[in-house]
């Protein structure tokens, strides 16, 4: 694991700075702690609990995010620079982007760290029993079902949570749309811009013009471009 982190640092020209944060000690599904990463053009910070929670699989997961943006040059969804500050919409964009990234990152993570399967099973159990059901609007519920069902089918097809997800979608008449969305999204995974374009085409009530794509480079900084249309 250390070799991979070293390789990412060498390729990006940026040190992955580890910052301890006691506020993370009781975070995570089991309350044992969690990691989180903050990635900018000129700095990468990996925040970790002070209680010793620092699993190899979690480190690889966060380093893979860094690799995607800084080494592979994959863009991420952000709030457009020329719109008024909109924290709720910005958080939603970050969530969508992170969920899309997980379609690529988590299969790699599980290949090296199969013990992390239990962690992702627990995440999906919470998603389908709490998060999607508690979505504040029909649009949010559609987006949640489509993205999380794509993840289950693509990353954890044998999960025990599949039956729970199907029951929820059928009760809310979302199964057909989620299947179609997943088929289309997975077919485009090699091209992040194509996936982003498809997302906005699919959910036309989500404002494409208020979003942008951001490319990160330790040499050139951050560059924003309009969402692909």
User: pLDDT digits over 38-69, tens only?
Assistant: 999 999 999 999 999 999 999 999 999 999 99
Q: Assess whether pLDDT exceeds 90 at residue 229.
A: no
Q: Assess whether pLDDT exceeds 90 at residue 93.
A: yes
Report, as an integer, the average pLDDT of 153-178: 98
Which sign, positive or negative, has the C-alpha torsion 158, 142, 94, 50? negative
pTM given for the model: 0.96
Residues in CB range of 147: below 8 A, 6 or more apart = 96, 99, 100, 181
Report, as an integer, the average pLDDT of 74-100: 95
Q: Assess whether pLDDT exceeds 80 at residue 188.
A: yes
- Rounded CA-CA distance 18/10 in Å is 16
The predicted pLDDT at position 5 comes to 87
Residues in CB range of 30: below 8 A, 6 or more apart = 122
Residues, the chain: 229
pLDDT band at 161 (very low <50, low <70, confident <90, very high): very high
**Average pLDDT for the chain:** 96
The predicted pLDDT at position 85 comes to 86
The predicted pLDDT at position 2 comes to 77
E runs forming strands in the chain = 16-20, 36-39, 44-48, 76-79, 211-217, 221-226
Q: Which of 5-9, 107-111, 121-125, 133-137 is least confident?
A: 5-9
Q: What Rg, from alpha-carbon coordinates, does the chain have?
A: 18
Report, as an integer, the average pLDDT of 77-89: 92
- Rounded CA-CA distance 119/169 in Å is 23
3-state secondary structure of 9: helix
With pLDDT > 70 as the criterion, what percentage of the chain qualifies?
A: 100
């Amino acid at each position: 694991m250390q070799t991979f982190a070293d390789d990412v640092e060498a390729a990006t020209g940026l040190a992955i700075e580890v910052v301890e944060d006691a506020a993370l000690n009781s975070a995570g599904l089991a309350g044992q702690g969690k990691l989180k990463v903050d990635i900018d053009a000129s700095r990468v910070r990996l925040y970790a609990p002070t209680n010793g929670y620092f699993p190899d699989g979690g480190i690889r997961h966060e380093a893979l995010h860094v690799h995607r943006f800084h080494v592979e040059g994959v863009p991420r969804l952000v709030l457009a620079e020329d719109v008024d500050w909109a924290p709720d919409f910005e958080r939603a964009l970050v969530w969508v982007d992170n969920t899309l990234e997980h379609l690529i990152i988590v299969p790699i993570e599980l290949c090296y760290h199969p013990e992390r399967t239990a962690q992702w099973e627990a995440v999906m159990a919470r998603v389908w029993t709490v998060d999607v059901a508690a979505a504040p609007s029909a649009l949010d519920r559609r987006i949640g079902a489509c993205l999380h069902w794509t993840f289950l089918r693509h990353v954890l097809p044998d999960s025990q949570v599949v039956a729970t997800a199907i029951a929820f979608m059928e009760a809310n008449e979302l199964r057909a749309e989620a299947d179609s969305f997943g088929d289309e999204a997975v077919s485009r995974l090699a091209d992040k811009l194509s996936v982003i374009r498809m997302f906005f085409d699919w959910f036309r009530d989500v404002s494409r013009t208020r979003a942008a794509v951001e490319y990160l480079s330790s040499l050139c900084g951050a560059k924003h471009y309009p969402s692909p249309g």
